[in-house]
Protein backbone atom coordinates (compact mmCIF):
# COMPACT_ATOMS: atom_id res chain seq x y z
CA UNK A 1 0.00 0.00 0.00
CA UNK A 2 1.55 3.27 -0.93
CA UNK A 3 0.46 5.79 1.59
CA UNK A 4 2.01 9.10 2.35
CA UNK A 5 3.18 8.88 5.88
CA UNK A 6 5.29 11.39 7.72
CA UNK A 7 6.79 11.13 11.19
CA UNK A 8 4.26 13.36 12.91
CA UNK A 9 1.40 11.39 11.49
CA UNK A 10 2.87 8.13 12.59
CA UNK A 11 3.45 9.48 16.05
CA UNK A 12 -0.15 10.60 16.27
CA UNK A 13 -1.36 7.19 15.12
CA UNK A 14 0.89 5.51 17.62
CA UNK A 15 -0.53 7.65 20.40
CA UNK A 16 -4.04 6.76 19.38
CA UNK A 17 -3.23 3.08 19.28
CA UNK A 18 -1.66 3.29 22.70
CA UNK A 19 -4.69 5.08 24.00
CA UNK A 20 -6.91 2.45 22.50
CA UNK A 21 -4.92 -0.38 24.04
CA UNK A 22 -4.80 1.42 27.35
CA UNK A 23 -8.51 1.97 27.45
CA UNK A 24 -9.35 -1.60 26.69
CA UNK A 25 -6.85 -2.67 29.27
CA UNK A 26 -8.02 -0.12 31.79
CA UNK A 27 -10.85 -2.32 32.88
CA UNK A 28 -8.17 -4.51 34.32
CA UNK A 29 -7.08 -2.81 37.49
CA UNK A 30 -3.53 -3.97 37.23
CA UNK A 31 -2.32 -4.05 33.73
CA UNK A 32 1.33 -4.77 34.20
CA UNK A 33 2.88 -2.18 31.97
CA UNK A 34 6.09 -4.12 31.58
CA UNK A 35 7.92 -1.02 30.57
CA UNK A 36 11.15 -2.68 29.74
CA UNK A 37 11.58 -6.10 31.16
CA UNK A 38 8.08 -7.47 31.16
CA UNK A 39 8.46 -8.49 34.76
CA UNK A 40 5.30 -9.41 36.59
CA UNK A 41 4.36 -7.07 39.34
CA UNK A 42 5.35 -8.97 42.41
CA UNK A 43 3.59 -6.59 44.71
CA UNK A 44 0.35 -7.74 43.35
CA UNK A 45 0.99 -11.39 43.47
CA UNK A 46 -1.46 -12.95 45.77
CA UNK A 47 0.52 -14.29 48.63
CA UNK A 48 0.22 -17.84 47.75
CA UNK A 49 3.11 -19.99 48.58
CA UNK A 50 1.94 -22.87 46.55
CA UNK A 51 2.15 -20.88 43.39
CA UNK A 52 4.86 -18.35 43.98
CA UNK A 53 7.79 -20.56 43.39
CA UNK A 54 7.29 -21.50 39.88
CA UNK A 55 4.66 -19.14 38.74
CA UNK A 56 4.32 -15.51 39.53
CA UNK A 57 7.59 -14.61 41.03
CA UNK A 58 10.62 -14.85 38.94
CA UNK A 59 10.53 -15.37 35.26
CA UNK A 60 8.00 -13.57 33.22
CA UNK A 61 10.00 -12.41 30.33
CA UNK A 62 8.70 -15.06 28.07
CA UNK A 63 11.24 -17.56 26.96
CA UNK A 64 12.81 -18.95 30.08
CA UNK A 65 10.02 -20.50 31.95
CA UNK A 66 9.80 -23.65 33.92
CA UNK A 67 6.27 -24.30 34.79
CA UNK A 68 4.03 -27.14 33.77
CA UNK A 69 5.72 -30.51 33.58
CA UNK A 70 5.94 -32.62 30.50
CA UNK A 71 3.72 -35.19 32.14
CA UNK A 72 0.82 -33.11 31.02
CA UNK A 73 1.68 -33.79 27.47
CA UNK A 74 -1.21 -34.90 25.45
CA UNK A 75 0.24 -36.35 22.37
CA UNK A 76 -2.60 -35.60 20.14
CA UNK A 77 -2.70 -35.12 16.46
CA UNK A 78 -5.33 -32.48 16.29
CA UNK A 79 -2.79 -29.95 15.17
CA UNK A 80 -2.34 -31.90 12.01
CA UNK A 81 -5.95 -31.97 11.09
CA UNK A 82 -6.35 -30.81 7.61
CA UNK A 83 -8.95 -28.16 7.74
CA UNK A 84 -9.79 -28.64 4.13
CA UNK A 85 -11.13 -32.07 4.99
CA UNK A 86 -13.40 -30.73 7.62
CA UNK A 87 -17.05 -31.49 7.03
CA UNK A 88 -18.04 -27.97 7.78
CA UNK A 89 -16.50 -26.79 4.56
CA UNK A 90 -18.05 -29.48 2.46
CA UNK A 91 -21.52 -28.34 2.99
CA UNK A 92 -24.18 -27.58 0.47
CA UNK A 93 -23.95 -23.87 0.95
CA UNK A 94 -20.89 -23.90 -1.22
CA UNK A 95 -22.61 -25.30 -4.18
CA UNK A 96 -25.89 -23.53 -4.30
CA UNK A 97 -25.92 -21.60 -7.48
CA UNK A 98 -22.43 -21.20 -8.72
CA UNK A 99 -20.40 -24.30 -8.34
CA UNK A 100 -22.55 -27.03 -9.77
CA UNK A 101 -19.79 -29.49 -9.71
CA UNK A 102 -21.32 -32.49 -11.40
CA UNK A 103 -19.32 -31.93 -14.49
CA UNK A 104 -16.25 -33.66 -13.18
CA UNK A 105 -13.18 -32.22 -14.77
CA UNK A 106 -15.00 -29.27 -16.28
CA UNK A 107 -13.91 -26.29 -14.26
CA UNK A 108 -15.78 -23.63 -16.16
CA UNK A 109 -18.23 -23.16 -13.33
CA UNK A 110 -15.76 -23.13 -10.48
CA UNK A 111 -15.71 -20.24 -8.05
CA UNK A 112 -11.94 -20.32 -8.11
CA UNK A 113 -11.65 -18.57 -11.45
CA UNK A 114 -10.95 -14.83 -11.63
CA UNK A 115 -14.18 -12.82 -11.59
CA UNK A 116 -16.36 -15.88 -11.05
CA UNK A 117 -19.90 -14.99 -10.18
CA UNK A 118 -19.78 -16.44 -6.70
CA UNK A 119 -20.25 -15.15 -3.21
CA UNK A 120 -17.39 -15.03 -0.78
CA UNK A 121 -18.90 -17.95 1.13
CA UNK A 122 -19.09 -20.09 -1.99
CA UNK A 123 -15.55 -19.22 -3.00
CA UNK A 124 -14.17 -19.87 0.47
CA UNK A 125 -15.97 -23.17 0.81
CA UNK A 126 -14.69 -24.38 -2.52
CA UNK A 127 -11.16 -23.44 -1.48
CA UNK A 128 -11.44 -25.18 1.90
CA UNK A 129 -10.93 -21.83 3.58
CA UNK A 130 -12.98 -20.05 6.23
CA UNK A 131 -14.24 -16.50 5.88
CA UNK A 132 -16.10 -15.50 8.99
CA UNK A 133 -18.00 -12.73 10.69
CA UNK A 134 -18.41 -11.94 14.36
CA UNK A 135 -22.10 -11.95 15.27
CA UNK A 136 -23.21 -9.12 17.55
CA UNK A 137 -26.28 -11.01 18.75
CA UNK A 138 -28.95 -13.48 17.81
CA UNK A 139 -31.39 -10.75 16.71
CA UNK A 140 -29.00 -8.57 14.72
CA UNK A 141 -30.54 -7.63 11.34
CA UNK A 142 -27.25 -8.47 9.61
CA UNK A 143 -27.73 -12.16 10.38
CA UNK A 144 -29.99 -12.48 7.35
CA UNK A 145 -27.07 -12.11 4.94
CA UNK A 146 -24.45 -14.02 6.91
CA UNK A 147 -25.01 -17.43 5.26
CA UNK A 148 -24.77 -15.81 1.83
CA UNK A 149 -21.42 -14.20 2.41
CA UNK A 150 -19.64 -16.12 5.17
CA UNK A 151 -18.99 -19.78 5.94
CA UNK A 152 -17.84 -19.23 9.52
CA UNK A 153 -19.07 -17.29 12.54
CA UNK A 154 -17.79 -16.17 15.93
CA UNK A 155 -19.96 -14.82 18.74
CA UNK A 156 -18.67 -11.28 19.22
CA UNK A 157 -19.54 -11.38 22.90
CA UNK A 158 -22.04 -14.09 23.80
CA UNK A 159 -19.56 -16.89 24.51
CA UNK A 160 -17.12 -14.94 26.66
CA UNK A 161 -16.92 -16.19 30.22
CA UNK A 162 -18.37 -13.01 31.72
CA UNK A 163 -21.21 -12.95 29.18
CA UNK A 164 -22.13 -16.53 30.04
CA UNK A 165 -21.51 -16.01 33.76
CA UNK A 166 -21.72 -12.36 34.90
CA UNK A 167 -21.07 -13.85 38.33
CA UNK A 168 -19.15 -17.05 38.85
CA UNK A 169 -22.14 -19.01 40.08
CA UNK A 170 -24.70 -17.31 37.86
CA UNK A 171 -24.54 -18.56 34.29
CA UNK A 172 -26.97 -18.36 31.41
CA UNK A 173 -26.22 -20.00 28.06
CA UNK A 174 -29.39 -18.90 26.24
CA UNK A 175 -27.84 -16.30 23.94
CA UNK A 176 -24.85 -18.49 23.14
CA UNK A 177 -27.20 -21.40 22.43
CA UNK A 178 -29.25 -19.19 20.10
CA UNK A 179 -26.16 -18.28 18.09
CA UNK A 180 -25.09 -21.91 17.97
CA UNK A 181 -28.55 -22.82 16.66
CA UNK A 182 -28.26 -20.15 13.99
CA UNK A 183 -24.88 -21.52 12.92
CA UNK A 184 -26.15 -25.10 12.83
CA UNK A 185 -29.26 -24.17 10.85
CA UNK A 186 -27.08 -22.50 8.25
CA UNK A 187 -24.20 -24.97 8.14
CA UNK A 188 -21.67 -22.43 9.38
CA UNK A 189 -18.38 -23.30 11.02
CA UNK A 190 -18.12 -21.86 14.55
CA UNK A 191 -15.06 -20.35 16.23
CA UNK A 192 -15.66 -20.20 19.97
CA UNK A 193 -14.47 -16.97 21.58
CA UNK A 194 -13.12 -16.78 24.29
CA UNK A 195 -12.87 -19.13 27.25
CA UNK A 196 -10.42 -17.19 29.42
CA UNK A 197 -9.81 -13.46 29.01
CA UNK A 198 -8.23 -11.30 31.70
CA UNK A 199 -9.77 -8.02 30.59
CA UNK A 200 -13.13 -6.42 31.45
CA UNK A 201 -14.55 -8.09 34.60
CA UNK A 202 -18.19 -8.97 34.03
CA UNK A 203 -17.46 -9.46 30.33
CA UNK A 204 -14.14 -11.21 29.76
CA UNK A 205 -14.60 -13.11 33.00
CA UNK A 206 -17.14 -13.11 35.87
CA UNK A 207 -17.44 -9.81 37.70
CA UNK A 208 -16.85 -11.37 41.10
CA UNK A 209 -14.01 -13.68 40.09
CA UNK A 210 -11.19 -11.51 41.35
CA UNK A 211 -12.82 -10.95 44.75
CA UNK A 212 -13.57 -14.63 45.17
CA UNK A 213 -10.01 -15.58 44.21
CA UNK A 214 -8.51 -13.11 46.63
CA UNK A 215 -10.76 -14.27 49.47
CA UNK A 216 -10.00 -17.92 48.95
CA UNK A 217 -7.64 -19.61 51.42
CA UNK A 218 -5.68 -20.99 48.48
CA UNK A 219 -6.18 -18.60 45.56
CA UNK A 220 -4.14 -20.66 43.11
CA UNK A 221 -6.21 -23.80 43.62
CA UNK A 222 -9.47 -21.86 43.69
CA UNK A 223 -8.75 -20.18 40.38
CA UNK A 224 -7.43 -23.32 38.77
CA UNK A 225 -10.65 -25.10 39.73
CA UNK A 226 -12.79 -22.22 38.48
CA UNK A 227 -11.04 -22.20 35.09
CA UNK A 228 -11.23 -25.96 34.85
CA UNK A 229 -14.97 -26.04 35.67
CA UNK A 230 -15.85 -23.25 33.29
CA UNK A 231 -13.81 -24.57 30.38
CA UNK A 232 -15.07 -28.13 30.74
CA UNK A 233 -18.69 -27.04 31.11
CA UNK A 234 -18.62 -24.73 28.11
CA UNK A 235 -16.52 -26.82 25.75
CA UNK A 236 -18.47 -30.00 26.43
CA UNK A 237 -21.77 -28.18 25.99
CA UNK A 238 -20.75 -27.32 22.42
CA UNK A 239 -18.50 -30.30 21.72
CA UNK A 240 -18.59 -31.31 18.06
CA UNK A 241 -20.21 -28.01 17.15
CA UNK A 242 -17.45 -25.51 17.86
CA UNK A 243 -14.69 -26.31 15.39
CA UNK A 244 -12.08 -24.14 17.07
CA UNK A 245 -11.84 -22.28 20.37
CA UNK A 246 -9.95 -19.21 21.44
CA UNK A 247 -8.99 -20.84 24.71
CA UNK A 248 -7.01 -17.92 26.10
CA UNK A 249 -7.42 -14.40 24.81
CA UNK A 250 -4.79 -11.67 25.05
CA UNK A 251 -2.35 -13.13 27.59
CA UNK A 252 0.33 -10.55 26.81
CA UNK A 253 0.77 -7.00 28.04
CA UNK A 254 -0.22 -4.26 25.61
CA UNK A 255 3.40 -3.37 24.97
CA UNK A 256 6.72 -4.89 25.88
CA UNK A 257 7.47 -8.56 26.08
CA UNK A 258 5.70 -9.69 29.23
CA UNK A 259 2.44 -11.22 30.29
CA UNK A 260 -0.46 -8.99 31.18
CA UNK A 261 -0.73 -8.74 34.95
CA UNK A 262 -4.37 -9.75 35.08
CA UNK A 263 -6.06 -11.79 37.81
CA UNK A 264 -5.17 -15.05 36.08
CA UNK A 265 -1.50 -14.28 35.70
CA UNK A 266 -1.09 -12.69 39.12
CA UNK A 267 -2.58 -15.74 40.76
CA UNK A 268 -1.23 -18.61 38.71
CA UNK A 269 1.53 -17.28 36.52
CA UNK A 270 1.55 -18.84 33.05
CA UNK A 271 0.05 -22.04 34.50
CA UNK A 272 -3.42 -20.64 33.87
CA UNK A 273 -2.87 -21.05 30.15
CA UNK A 274 -1.97 -24.72 30.54
CA UNK A 275 -4.96 -25.34 32.80
CA UNK A 276 -7.36 -23.88 30.26
CA UNK A 277 -5.93 -25.76 27.27
CA UNK A 278 -5.80 -29.09 29.08
CA UNK A 279 -9.41 -28.81 30.21
CA UNK A 280 -10.58 -27.77 26.73
CA UNK A 281 -8.75 -30.64 25.10
CA UNK A 282 -10.24 -33.18 27.45
CA UNK A 283 -13.73 -31.76 26.98
CA UNK A 284 -13.52 -31.92 23.18
CA UNK A 285 -10.42 -33.66 21.81
CA UNK A 286 -11.41 -32.78 18.24
CA UNK A 287 -11.75 -29.04 18.65
CA UNK A 288 -8.79 -26.99 17.46
CA UNK A 289 -7.48 -24.94 20.35
CA UNK A 290 -6.08 -21.43 19.80
CA UNK A 291 -4.22 -18.77 21.70
CA UNK A 292 -5.59 -15.42 20.52
CA UNK A 293 -3.71 -12.12 20.74
CA UNK A 294 -3.79 -8.59 19.38
CA UNK A 295 -0.88 -6.57 18.10
CA UNK A 296 -0.26 -2.96 17.27
CA UNK A 297 2.51 -3.91 14.87
CA UNK A 298 3.61 -7.15 13.29
CA UNK A 299 7.22 -6.96 14.35
CA UNK A 300 8.97 -6.04 17.59
CA UNK A 301 9.12 -7.31 21.17
CA UNK A 302 5.51 -8.38 21.47
CA UNK A 303 5.73 -10.48 18.32
CA UNK A 304 8.90 -12.13 19.60
CA UNK A 305 7.30 -12.75 23.00
CA UNK A 306 4.24 -14.29 21.42
CA UNK A 307 6.32 -16.65 19.28
CA UNK A 308 8.39 -17.61 22.34
CA UNK A 309 5.23 -18.31 24.31
CA UNK A 310 3.82 -20.49 21.55
CA UNK A 311 7.06 -22.40 21.36
CA UNK A 312 7.09 -22.98 25.10
CA UNK A 313 3.53 -24.25 25.04
CA UNK A 314 4.34 -26.64 22.22
CA UNK A 315 7.56 -27.78 23.90
CA UNK A 316 5.88 -28.62 27.15
CA UNK A 317 3.11 -30.55 25.47
CA UNK A 318 0.20 -28.20 25.99
CA UNK A 319 -2.52 -29.26 23.52
CA UNK A 320 -2.50 -26.12 21.42
CA UNK A 321 -3.34 -26.27 17.72
CA UNK A 322 -3.06 -22.72 16.57
CA UNK A 323 -2.69 -19.01 17.07
CA UNK A 324 -5.40 -16.43 16.45
CA UNK A 325 -4.10 -13.09 15.27
CA UNK A 326 -6.36 -10.11 15.68
CA UNK A 327 -6.24 -7.28 13.17
CA UNK A 328 -7.89 -4.15 14.51
CA UNK A 329 -5.95 -1.69 12.42
CA UNK A 330 -6.31 1.54 10.54
CA UNK A 331 -6.85 1.59 6.81
CA UNK A 332 -3.74 3.72 6.60
CA UNK A 333 -1.65 1.51 8.86
CA UNK A 334 1.90 1.29 7.61
CA UNK A 335 4.33 -1.54 8.16
CA UNK A 336 1.95 -4.43 7.79
CA UNK A 337 4.28 -6.31 5.49
CA UNK A 338 5.90 -8.20 8.36
CA UNK A 339 2.59 -9.90 8.95
CA UNK A 340 3.42 -12.50 6.36
CA UNK A 341 6.69 -13.49 8.07
CA UNK A 342 4.89 -13.65 11.39
CA UNK A 343 2.24 -16.05 10.12
CA UNK A 344 4.88 -18.28 8.53
CA UNK A 345 6.86 -18.29 11.80
CA UNK A 346 3.76 -19.54 13.62
CA UNK A 347 3.26 -22.27 11.04
CA UNK A 348 6.91 -23.22 11.41
CA UNK A 349 6.14 -24.16 15.01
CA UNK A 350 3.69 -26.74 13.69
CA UNK A 351 0.68 -24.59 14.53
CA UNK A 352 -2.23 -23.39 12.43
CA UNK A 353 -3.02 -19.73 12.31
CA UNK A 354 -6.17 -17.70 11.66
CA UNK A 355 -6.82 -13.98 11.36
CA UNK A 356 -9.55 -13.82 13.95
CA UNK A 357 -10.69 -10.22 14.29
CA UNK A 358 -10.25 -8.03 11.25
CA UNK A 359 -11.54 -4.52 10.91
CA UNK A 360 -9.93 -1.64 9.09
CA UNK A 361 -10.92 1.65 10.67
CA UNK A 362 -10.46 5.09 9.26
CA UNK A 363 -8.94 7.74 11.48
CA UNK A 364 -8.70 11.49 11.91
CA UNK A 365 -6.02 11.75 9.31
CA UNK A 366 -7.39 9.47 6.70
CA UNK A 367 -8.32 12.25 4.31
CA UNK A 368 -4.80 13.52 4.37
CA UNK A 369 -3.14 10.14 4.34
CA UNK A 370 -5.22 8.66 1.59
CA UNK A 371 -4.32 11.57 -0.63
CA UNK A 372 -7.72 11.73 -2.23
CA UNK A 373 -8.28 8.02 -2.66
CA UNK A 374 -11.65 6.61 -1.88
CA UNK A 375 -11.82 5.16 1.62
CA UNK A 376 -13.26 1.86 0.48
CA UNK A 377 -10.57 1.37 -2.15
CA UNK A 378 -7.80 2.03 0.35
CA UNK A 379 -9.56 -0.30 2.73
CA UNK A 380 -9.59 -3.03 0.09
CA UNK A 381 -5.81 -2.66 -0.18
CA UNK A 382 -5.46 -2.97 3.58
CA UNK A 383 -7.60 -6.11 3.66
CA UNK A 384 -5.59 -7.41 0.75
CA UNK A 385 -2.42 -7.38 2.85
CA UNK A 386 -4.10 -9.55 5.46
CA UNK A 387 -5.77 -11.87 2.97
CA UNK A 388 -2.58 -12.32 0.95
CA UNK A 389 -0.49 -12.99 4.05
CA UNK A 390 -2.97 -15.58 5.25
CA UNK A 391 -3.56 -17.31 1.94
CA UNK A 392 0.13 -17.52 1.15
CA UNK A 393 1.08 -18.95 4.55
CA UNK A 394 1.41 -22.74 4.78
CA UNK A 395 -1.44 -23.21 7.28
CA UNK A 396 -3.59 -20.14 7.68
CA UNK A 397 -7.03 -21.68 7.78
CA UNK A 398 -9.28 -18.64 7.70
CA UNK A 399 -10.00 -15.01 8.35
CA UNK A 400 -12.83 -13.43 10.28
CA UNK A 401 -14.09 -9.85 10.29
CA UNK A 402 -15.08 -8.39 13.64
CA UNK A 403 -18.67 -7.73 12.70
CA UNK A 404 -21.01 -8.36 9.80
CA UNK A 405 -21.58 -4.96 8.24
CA UNK A 406 -20.74 -1.30 8.76
CA UNK A 407 -23.94 -0.53 10.65
CA UNK A 408 -22.62 -2.34 13.71
CA UNK A 409 -18.98 -2.20 14.71
CA UNK A 410 -17.50 -2.12 18.19
CA UNK A 411 -15.07 0.55 16.94
CA UNK A 412 -17.86 3.13 16.88
CA UNK A 413 -18.17 2.69 20.65
CA UNK A 414 -14.56 2.50 21.81
CA UNK A 415 -12.06 5.32 22.09
CA UNK A 416 -10.23 6.58 20.18
CA UNK A 417 -12.01 5.05 17.23
CA UNK A 418 -15.41 6.40 18.26
CA UNK A 419 -14.19 9.93 17.63
CA UNK A 420 -14.22 9.09 13.94
CA UNK A 421 -17.46 7.15 13.80
CA UNK A 422 -18.79 5.87 11.55
CA UNK A 423 -15.63 3.86 11.04
CA UNK A 424 -17.08 1.71 8.25
CA UNK A 425 -14.44 -0.99 8.79
CA UNK A 426 -16.09 -4.18 7.46
CA UNK A 427 -16.74 -6.04 4.20
CA UNK A 428 -20.45 -5.20 3.86
CA UNK A 429 -21.80 -1.65 3.88
CA UNK A 430 -24.66 -0.33 6.00
CA UNK A 431 -27.11 -1.59 3.35
CA UNK A 432 -25.58 -5.08 3.70
CA UNK A 433 -24.02 -4.84 0.24
CA UNK A 434 -20.47 -6.08 -0.52
CA UNK A 435 -17.73 -3.42 -0.59
CA UNK A 436 -14.53 -3.43 -2.66
CA UNK A 437 -12.62 -5.30 0.07
CA UNK A 438 -15.12 -8.15 -0.22
CA UNK A 439 -14.28 -8.66 -3.88
CA UNK A 440 -10.57 -8.30 -3.24
CA UNK A 441 -10.66 -11.13 -0.71
CA UNK A 442 -12.74 -13.26 -3.04
CA UNK A 443 -10.23 -12.73 -5.85
CA UNK A 444 -7.33 -13.49 -3.56
CA UNK A 445 -8.88 -16.78 -2.45
CA UNK A 446 -9.37 -17.77 -6.06
CA UNK A 447 -5.86 -16.74 -6.99
CA UNK A 448 -4.23 -18.80 -4.25
CA UNK A 449 -6.20 -21.96 -4.98
C1 LIG B 1 -15.12 -6.51 21.98
C2 LIG B 1 -16.54 -6.46 21.46
O3 LIG B 1 -16.50 -6.22 20.07
C4 LIG B 1 -17.30 -5.36 22.16
O5 LIG B 1 -18.68 -5.39 21.76
C6 LIG B 1 -17.20 -5.54 23.67
O7 LIG B 1 -17.82 -4.46 24.31
C8 LIG B 1 -15.74 -5.62 24.11
O9 LIG B 1 -15.10 -6.66 23.39
N10 LIG B 1 -10.37 -8.11 21.20
C11 LIG B 1 -11.16 -9.21 21.45
C12 LIG B 1 -12.63 -9.10 21.38
O13 LIG B 1 -10.63 -10.31 21.62
O14 LIG B 1 -13.28 -9.97 22.26
C15 LIG B 1 -13.08 -7.67 21.63
O16 LIG B 1 -14.47 -7.61 21.41
C17 LIG B 1 -12.33 -6.72 20.75
C18 LIG B 1 -10.85 -6.77 21.01
For 337-348, how does the pLDDT look when each residue is reduced to its tens digit (9 = 90+)?
A: 799 999 999 999
Catalytic residues: 250, 357
Ligand 1 centroid–CA 157 distance in Å is 7
Residue 357: alpha-carbon gap to chain centroid: 5
Nearest Cα to 122, choosing from 86, 84, 89?
89
Please give the pLDDT value at position 21.
44
CA-CA distance, 308 to 130, in Å (whole number)?
Answer: 27
Q: What does the pLDDT read at residue 417?
A: 86
Measured from CB, residues less than 6 Å from any atom of ligand 1 are: 156-157, 249, 294, 326, 357, 410
Q: Closest ligand 1 atom, CA of 328?
A: 18
Atom 15, ligand 1: which residue's CA is nearest? Answer: 156
- Helix, strand, coil shares of the chain, percent, nearest 5, are 45, 15, 40
Q: How would DSSP label each residue in 61-84?
A: BTTS---S-GGG-----GGG--GG
Burial bucket for residue 419 (CB in 10 Å: 0-12, 13-18, 19+): exposed
Closest CA to 329 of 379, 276, 397: 379
**Which residues of the chain are modeled with pLDDT < 70?**
1-61, 63-108, 333-336, 363-372
pLDDT tens track for 294-324: 998 898 999 999 999 999 999 999 999 999 9
402 CA closest ligand 1 atom index: 3
Query: Which superfamily does CATH assign the domain made up of 7-70+119-447 to?
Result: Glycosidases (3.20.20.80)
User: Contact at 8 Å (CB) between 308 and 345?
Assistant: no
Q: Whose CA is nearest to atom 12 of ligand 1?
A: 156
Q: Which of 402, 403, 411, 426 to mutate to test the pocket of ligand 1 (most atoms within 8 A of CB)?
A: 402
Nearest-atom index, ligand 1, CA of 356 = 13
Helix/strand/coil for 421: coil
- What is the pLDDT, as a whole number, of residue 369? 61
Residue whose C-alpha is closest to residue 204's, from 157, 251, 237: 157
Q: For ligand 1, pick from 135, 153, 357, 423 the residue to mutate: most ligand atoms within 8 Å of CB.
A: 357
Nearest atom in ligand 1 to the alpha carbon of residue 134 is 3
Q: How far is CA 85 from CA 29, 125, 328, in A?
A: 44, 11, 30
Q: How many Å lie between the centroid of ligand 1 and the Cα of residue 417?
A: 13
pLDDT reported for residue 239: 98
Beta partners for residue 325, in sequence order: 293, 355
Question: Atom 7, ligand 1: which residue's CA is nearest?
Answer: 410
Ligand 1 centre to CA of 77 (Å) is 31
DSSP element (H, E) containing 289? strand 288-293
Residue 425 CB: number of other CB atoms within 10 A?
A: 27
Listed residue (161, 177, 158) closest to 169, CA to CA = 161
What are the residue boundaries of the structural domains of the chain, listed by start?
7-70+119-447, 72-104
Contact 286, 78 (CB under 8 A): yes
What distance in angstroms lies between residue 256's CA and the mean position of ligand 1's atoms?
A: 22
Amino acid sequence: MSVKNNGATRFFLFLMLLLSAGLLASCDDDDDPSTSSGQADDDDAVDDDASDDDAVGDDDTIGDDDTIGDDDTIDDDTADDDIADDDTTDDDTADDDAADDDTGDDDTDTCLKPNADCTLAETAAEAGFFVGAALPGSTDPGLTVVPTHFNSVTAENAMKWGSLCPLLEQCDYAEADALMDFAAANNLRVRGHALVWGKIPGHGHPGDLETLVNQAPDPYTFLQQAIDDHVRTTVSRYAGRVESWDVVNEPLAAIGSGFEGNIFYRTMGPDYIDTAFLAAHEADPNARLFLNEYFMAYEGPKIEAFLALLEELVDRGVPIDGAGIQGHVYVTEPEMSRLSDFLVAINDLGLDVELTELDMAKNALWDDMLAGRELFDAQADAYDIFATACLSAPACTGLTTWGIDDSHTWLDNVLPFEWFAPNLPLLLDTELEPKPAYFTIRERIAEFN
